[in-house]
């Protein structure tokens, strides 16, 4: 990978598109082949190309989750380090693992890493990651709000060879299938990921046959350099200074005390420091995250602030992410990490709030801030286990250009919320409600997006058990530039005709549900942007007309001037 030729801009653009298309096709292959709805419908997966020495992200598809851009480079580097120790690599090897402390995120995300050889030489690594439906552990679906170590969350797999020189090790597959409540789903998802990697190899061969390995390698280096230059140019446009923000998690699911997430952003010319000093220490429960996840989250926040930047590691060259040792943002094995989604959402919120002080037009107000990971599980009349795991939407924050998105998915991903028709067809449940939640948005010149109401009834005669891992039950999503806070998260469950709430507000396990009983999620909206006094009265009237806001709340927030105004 030396003696790199010069490359003209047109060829560079063509190769950039071709390589991105390879990752996109790998995404699409898994989405079509996967058995579980979290991958097939929600697209909780990702594929990419990674540097053969550093593991840095070279290319990622547009359909994959942004959080995986950063963490998968750590996953690939873990395989590279293993190979450095073993000094043993063959074309056709495939490594598999889910250890979150090495590869980031949580144990539900299974990673496959495959070296790509061209004409006998290692050119790059291809990698696939997907959220498997169930990987063992104490709670079906693996979001265990009561976990105090990773062993209570799921089976932990370090980087091991799934295939050697193209020959799959069935022993590894047998272990995986024996440690899941849903072996058919596991087998289907694994086969889908293997198929995606096979396609990636095929497409890379076609690309390098056409352009040559030296030209493609030069393009990859040029794309990374370009991302670095673009990022530096964006930072140079912002004022120099230091801005701080903090927010809180409700609790860790074990100890009912809030946990602070604190950040300081420092911009000096074309460089930025993102410093999380002052954040809460490592905790007992599963809202800890490992260092790779923290770094990847900083990348996701940066991509939101500067959406035109490409998806490769060059973006982060000018950014120094500082994470205090011993904090819940750099948790050590075997600290539980199953609820990483909740913590990284709060990290993005505080980064946005700090960045808003420097340049509010760059930033949207806080989104709803929780995926509300809800598992409902049981056994059918024939004894067959079922596990309905899904995540749920809420309102996005407003920005300087307009109102927030109603009922969107979390800003850590490009995933979609599984449709209720799919969930009802696959599991013995019925949705009594799937609707927007009135009065849930933060007010402002531009209001936040609306949260949602989901009410789910159990139909199985044997009943079921529910588990919730959520957030924002005690600390509301914030507005910016004078915008108002959104409504908080509310979870309730039915017991003998009475609706009850979790003692810890947003987390609970072991909720016994009889046939005909249900659970209800009332998710937060997004924060508002700008002061409410600047909102046009006709827009307030239109919100009331559409049922997004009640007249009483409109009167309280905006006065009565909106009444009688044509919407």
pLDDT in tens, 380-405: 999 999 999 999 999 999 999 999 99
Looking at per-residue confidence, does 377 or 85 come out higher?
377
Q: Are 223 and 368 in a shared domain?
A: no
Dist CA 77 CA 96 (whole Å): 13
Burial (CB count within 10 angstroms: exposed 0-12, middle 13-18, buried 19+), residue 170: exposed
Structure tokens at 180: 């899941």
Nearby residues of 64 by Cβ (< 8 Å), 6 or more positions away: 23, 27, 43, 45, 46, 47, 48, 414
Cβ within 8 Å of residue 282, ≥6 positions away = 288, 326, 327, 328, 330, 331, 332, 335
Which band of pLDDT confidence, cut at 50, 70 and 90, is reported for residue 538?
A: very high
Residue linked to tokens 């009594």: 432
Residue 306, CB half-sphere, CA atoms under 13 Å: how many?
A: 20
Tell me the average pLDDT across 416-430: 92
Cβ pair 113, 127 in contact under 8 A: yes
Residue 377 DSSP SS3: strand
pLDDT of residue 227: 93
Question: What pLDDT is attached to residue 43?
Answer: 87
SS3 at position 64: coil
Q: What is the band of 3 on the pLDDT scale with cuts at 50, 70, 90?
A: low
Please indicate, yes or no, if residue 345 is contained in any of the structural domains.
no
Does residue 144 belong to any structural domain of this protein?
yes
In a domain, 270, yes or no: no
Domain assignment present for residue 256? The answer is no
Lookup: tokens for 373: 């990971």
Give mean pLDDT, residues 510-528. 97
As to burial, measured by CB atoms within 10 angstroms (0-12 exposed, 13-18 middle, 19+ buried), residue 198 is middle
pLDDT at 63 over 90: no
Residue 292 has pLDDT above 80, yes or no: yes
Asked if residue 55 belongs to a domain, the reply is: yes
Asked whether residue 2 is domain-assigned, the answer is no
**308 falls in which pLDDT band (50, 70, 90)?**
confident
Q: Which candidate, 269, 254, 246, 297, places its Cα nearest to that of 413?
A: 297
Q: 76 with 221, same domain? A: yes
* Tally of domains within the chain: 2
For residue 421, the model assigns a pLDDT of 94
Range of the structural domain that residue 148 is part of: 9-229
Q: Is the peptide bond before 54 cis (omega within 30 degrees of 0)?
A: no
The answer to whether position 48 is within a domain reads yes
Token pair recorded at residue 391: 């995540």
pLDDT of residue 1: 44
pLDDT at 53 over 90: yes
Structure tokens at 318: 């000018």
- Beta bridge mates, 109: 131
What pLDDT score was predicted for residue 413? Answer: 67
Angle of helix 183-211 versus helix 9-33 axis, rounded to 10: 160
Burial 110-134 (b: 16+ CB within 10 A, else e): bbbbbbbbbeeeebbbbbbbbbbbb
Looking at residue 2, its pLDDT comes to 45
Mean pLDDT within 70-84 = 93
Query: Which whole number is the average pLDDT over 102-118?
Result: 96
The pLDDT, as a whole number, for residue 567 is 57
Q: Left (φ > 0), alpha (ψ -120 to 50) or beta: where does 41 sit?
A: alpha
Other Cβ atoms closer than 10 A to 221: 16
Q: Determine the pLDDT at residue 88.
A: 87
Instruction: Please give the sequence-ordered ranges of beta strands (E in DSSP) within 459-531, or none if there are none.
Output: 464-469, 490-495, 498-500, 507-513, 518-522
**Does 489 score more than 90 pLDDT?**
yes
Residue whose tokens read 């009640």: 550
Separation CA 519–CA 349 (nearest Å): 28
Taking only the tens place, the pLDDT of each residue in 162-173 is 999 999 999 999
Q: pTM to 2 decimals?
A: 0.93
Beta strand 94-97 with 160-164 is antiparallel
Least confident of 5-19, 92-106, 187-201: 5-19
What secondary structure does DSSP assign to 90-159, as a single string? Answer: -TT-EEEE--HHHHSS-TTEEEEEEEEEETTEEEEEEEEEEE-S---SSSTTS--TT-SSGGGTS----S
- Read off the tokens for 404: 């927030």
Is 267's pLDDT higher than 50? yes
Given 166, 199, 229, which residue is the final one in a domain? 229
pLDDT averaged over every residue in the chain:
94
C-alpha–C-alpha distance, residues 315 and 12, integer Å: 18
Of 229, 246, 281, which residue constitutes the final position of a domain? 229
Residue with tokens 């050590």: 332
Angle at the Cα of 285 from the Cα atoms of 336 and 518, rounded to 5 degrees: 105
Residue at which a domain ends, from 229, 259, 290: 229
Share of the chain above pLDDT 70, in %: 98
pLDDT band at 62 (very low <50, low <70, confident <90, very high): confident
Is the distance from CB of 524 to CB of 369 less than 8 angstroms? yes
CA 72 to chain centre: 13
**Domain contains 241:** no
pLDDT digits (tens, 9 = 90+) for 118-130: 999 999 999 999 9
């Amino acid at each position: 990978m030396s003696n790199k030729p010069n490359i003209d801009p047109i060829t560079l653009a063509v190769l950039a598109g071709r390589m991105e298309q390879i990752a996109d096709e790998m995404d699409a292959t898994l989405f079509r082949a996967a058995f579980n709805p979290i991958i097939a419908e929600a697209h909780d997966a990702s594929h990419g190309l990674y540097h053969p020495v550093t593991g840095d992200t070279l290319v990622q598809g547009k359909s994959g989750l942004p959080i995986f851009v950063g963490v998968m480079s750590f996953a690939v580097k873990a395989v590279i380090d293993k190979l450095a120790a073993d000094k043993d690599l063959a074309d056709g090897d495939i490594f598999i693992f889910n250890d979150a402390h090495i590869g980031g995120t949580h144990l539900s995300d299974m990673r496959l890493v495959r070296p790509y050889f061209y004409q006998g030489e290692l050119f790059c690594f291809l990698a696939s990651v997907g959220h498997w439906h169930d990987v063992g552990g104490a709670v079906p679906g693996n979001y265990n709000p009561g976990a105090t170590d990773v062993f209570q969350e799921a089976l932990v797999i370090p980087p091991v060879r799934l295939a050697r020189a193209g020959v799959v090790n069935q022993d590894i597959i047998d272990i995986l299938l024996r440690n899941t409540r849903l072996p058919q789903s596991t087998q289907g998802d694994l086969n889908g990921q293997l198929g995606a990697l096979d396609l990636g190899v095929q497409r890379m061969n076609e690309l390098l046959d056409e352009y040559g390995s030296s030209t493609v390698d030069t393009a990859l280096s040029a794309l990374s350099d370009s991302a670095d230059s673009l990022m530096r140019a964006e930072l140079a446009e912002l004022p120099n200074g230091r801005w701080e923000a903090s927010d809180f998690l409700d609790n860790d699911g074990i100890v009912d005390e809030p946990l602070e997430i604190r950040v300081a952003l420092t911009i000096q010319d074309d460089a930025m420091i993102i410093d999380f000093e002052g954040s809460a220490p490592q905790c007992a429960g599963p809202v800890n995250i490992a260092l790779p996840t923290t770094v990847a989250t900083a990348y996701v926040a940066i991509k939101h602030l500067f959406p035109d930047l490409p998806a490769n590691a060059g973006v982060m060259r000018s950014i120094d992410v500082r994470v205090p040792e011993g904090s819940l943002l750099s948790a050590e094995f075997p600290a539980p990490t199953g609820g990483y989604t909740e913590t990284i959402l709060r990290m993005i919120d505080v980064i946005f709030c700090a960045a808003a002080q420097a340049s509010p037009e760059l930033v949207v107000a806080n989104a709803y801030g929780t995926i509300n990971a809800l598992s409902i599980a049981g056994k059918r009349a024939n004894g067959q286990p079922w596990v309905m795991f899904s995540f749920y939407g809420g309102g996005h924050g407003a920005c300087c250009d307009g109102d927030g998105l109603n009922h969107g998915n979390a800003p850590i991903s490009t995933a979609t919320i599984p449709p209720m028709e799919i969930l009802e067809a696959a599991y013995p449940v019925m949705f009594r409600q799937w609707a927007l939640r009135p009065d849930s948005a933060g007010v402002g010149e531009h209001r936040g997006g609306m949260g949602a109401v989901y009410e789910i009834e159990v139909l199985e005669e044997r009943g079921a058990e529910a588990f919730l891992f959520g957030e924002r039950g005690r600390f509301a999503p914030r507005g910016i530039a004078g915008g108002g806070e959104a409504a908080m998260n509310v979870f309730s469950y039915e017991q003998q005709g009475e609706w009850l709430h979790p003692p810890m507000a947003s987390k609970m396990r072991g909720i016994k549900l009889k046939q005909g009983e249900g659970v209800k999620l009332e998710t937060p909206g997004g924060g508002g942007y700008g002061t409410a006094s600047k909102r046009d009265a006709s827009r307030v009237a239109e919100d009331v007309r559409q049922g997004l806001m009640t007249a009483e709340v409109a009167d309280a927030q905006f006065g009565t001037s909106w009444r009688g105004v044509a919407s």
